[in-house]
């Protein structure tokens, strides 16, 4: 049996986990702890890098000690220490990586510097030992939206990426526009479940285009315009209102808590009726995003060649509607569909420990140097051709 301690600190979760791989291939999460920083960042409506880095400093070592304690183990029991070494918010990455280096030095253990994206990319194999390479992976998180042919540990062929915003970013911005606060993805999903996905016409950027790349910036701008139009309609400053019901107005008041900067939309007995609700915007946005994801993934499957499964990972993979749509696509293509459990989709240290175990199991494994420098950017496929777009980030 091999045992790896994993540390994650690339964004707003500080996390530690102990994962083992048995001689029979059994994968076990012996212990894991996650300290979320949601409360610290909520007042700002997004992650503040400096606050995140300080919170990681305070939490990482106590979290590691508690995780070892939960499993009744000590540092001497682990075979290696794996930590996220990038990409991500560099201050946080450095905190986790330096902590791992200190533990590796103190315990005389190998250090394994993990690409956070590789953690996401391999996480489905932690949950599903039957998942074999190569598989087509949709990796959708707050910072990335990529389609990758995962061919082996350390072997990734990027078939597509976003030419502007990541999908999780689009969810987070939609949440902000609708006054749903932070973190945005789960809030948009909850509200979307109560809305009409056909109520607000929104664009599907790049739908049908020959390459499988993504674009979400235009969708986000359209959500903003839809929200502005709603505000104007409710305030009676244009003629867009009128086609709605009182329940639509009630939904505005009941399902949303407008941020302080926003006008109270439902005050006043003579306000015109709204053409649609916040929930309708959320549902229409989510449906537009799903239509893009399915069209682009179908195109990538055409380009991918033979694969064993269609797999989704990353924070956005926690979205049930997106999972269901991908499952439908996999069934249509006669492919297995694999999605890790929700807790393994959003950032966690078990996936980092697991990526460490995958690396450790390779014939040519060599520990990383204690000089390994944290990387703010670290593409999984360094050979991928750069994409052209308005604001390429990935």
183 binding ligand KG4? (CB under 6 A)? yes
Choices 44-52, 203-211, 309-317, 380-388 (CB under 6 A): range interacting with ligand KG4 = 309-317
Contact 23, 131 (CB under 8 A): no
168 binding ligand KG4? (CB under 6 A)? yes
347 binding Zn ion? (CB under 5 A)? yes
Residues in contact with ligand KG4, shown as a per-residue x/- string from 324 to 363 under the rule CB under 6 A: ----------------------xx----------------
Nearer to Zn ion, 172 or 347 (CB): 347
What is the rounded (10 degree) CA torsion for 169, 175, 218, 331? Answer: 70
Question: What is the C-alpha to C-alpha distance for residues 354 and 68, in angstroms, rounded to an integer?
Answer: 16
253: CB partners within 8 A, 6+ apart: 265, 266
Question: What is the C-alpha to C-alpha distance for residues 253 and 273, in angstroms, rounded to an integer?
Answer: 13
What is the rounded (10 degree) CA torsion for 125, 130, 133, 139? Answer: -40
165 binding ligand KG4? (CB under 6 A)? no
Question: What is the C-alpha to C-alpha distance for residues 383 and 354, in angstroms, rounded to an integer?
Answer: 25
318 binding ligand KG4? (CB under 6 A)? yes
Contact 191, 256 (CB under 8 A): yes
Query: Six-digit token pair at 67?
Result: 């995780």
Choices 74-82, 94-102, 140-148, 276-284 (CB under 6 A): range interacting with ligand KG4 = 140-148
| Position among 86, 119, 134, 143 found at the interface with ligand KG4 (CB under 6 A) | 143
CB of 290 to ligand KG4, least distance (A): 11
184 binding ligand KG4? (CB under 6 A)? yes
Nearer to ligand KG4, 103 or 114 (CB): 114
85 binding ligand KG4? (CB under 6 A)? no
316 binding ligand KG4? (CB under 6 A)? yes
258: CB partners within 8 A, 6+ apart: 179, 264, 265
SS3 135: strand
- Residue ranges binding Zn ion (CB under 5 A): 141, 347
- Residue ranges binding ligand KG4 (CB under 6 A): 11, 141-143, 168-169, 171-172, 183-186, 189, 314-316, 318-319, 346-347
């Amino acid at each position: 049996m091999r045992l790896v301690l994993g540390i994650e600190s690339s964004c707003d979760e500080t996390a530690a986990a102990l994962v083992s791989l048995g001689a029979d291939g059994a994968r076990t999460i012996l212990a894991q702890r996650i300290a979320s920083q949601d409360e610290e960042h909520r007042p700002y409506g997004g992650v503040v890098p400096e606050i995140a880095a300080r919170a990681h400093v305070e939490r990482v070592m106590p979290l590691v000690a508690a995780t070892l304690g939960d499993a009744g183990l000590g540092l001497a029991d682990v075979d290696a220490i794996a930590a996220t070494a990038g990409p991500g918010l560099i201050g946080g990455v450095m905190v986790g990586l330096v902590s791992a280096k200190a533990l590796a030095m103190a315990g005389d253990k190998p250090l394994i510097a993990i690409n956070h994206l590789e953690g996401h990319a391999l996480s489905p194999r932690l949950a599903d030992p039957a998942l074999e390479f190569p598989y087509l992976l949709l990796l959708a998180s707050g910072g990335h939206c990529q389609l990758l042919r995962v061919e082996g540990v350390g072997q990734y062929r990027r078939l597509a990426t976003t030419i502007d915003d990541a999908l999780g970013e689009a969810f987070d911005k939609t949440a902000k526009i609708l006054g749903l606060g932070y973190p945005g993805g789960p809030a948009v999903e909850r509200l979307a479940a109560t809305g009409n996905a056909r109520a607000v016409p929104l664009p599907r950027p790049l739908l049908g285009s020959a390459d499988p790349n993504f674009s979400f910036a235009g969708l986000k701008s359209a959500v903003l315009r839809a929200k502005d139009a709603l505000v104007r309609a409710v305030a009676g400053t244009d003629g867009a209102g009128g086609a709605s019901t009182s329940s639509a107005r009630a939904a505005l008041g009941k399902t949303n808590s407008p941020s302080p900067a926003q006008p109270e939309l439902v005050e006043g007995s003579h306000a015109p009726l709204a053409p649609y609700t916040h929930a309708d915007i959320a549902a229409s946005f989510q449906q537009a995003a799903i239509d893009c994801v399915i069209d682009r993934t179908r195109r990538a499957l055409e380009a991918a060649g033979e694969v064993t499964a269609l797999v989704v990972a990353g924070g956005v993979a926690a979205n049930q509607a997106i999972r269901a749509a991908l499952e439908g696509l996999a069934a249509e293509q006669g492919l297995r569909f694999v999605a890790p459990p929700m807790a393994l989709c959003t950032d966690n240290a078990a996936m980092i420990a697991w990526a460490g175990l995958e690396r450790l199991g390779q014939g040519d494994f060599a520990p990383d140097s204690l000089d390994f420098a944290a990387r703010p950017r670290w593409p999984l496929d360094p050979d991928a051709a750069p994409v052209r777009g308005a604001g390429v980030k990935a």
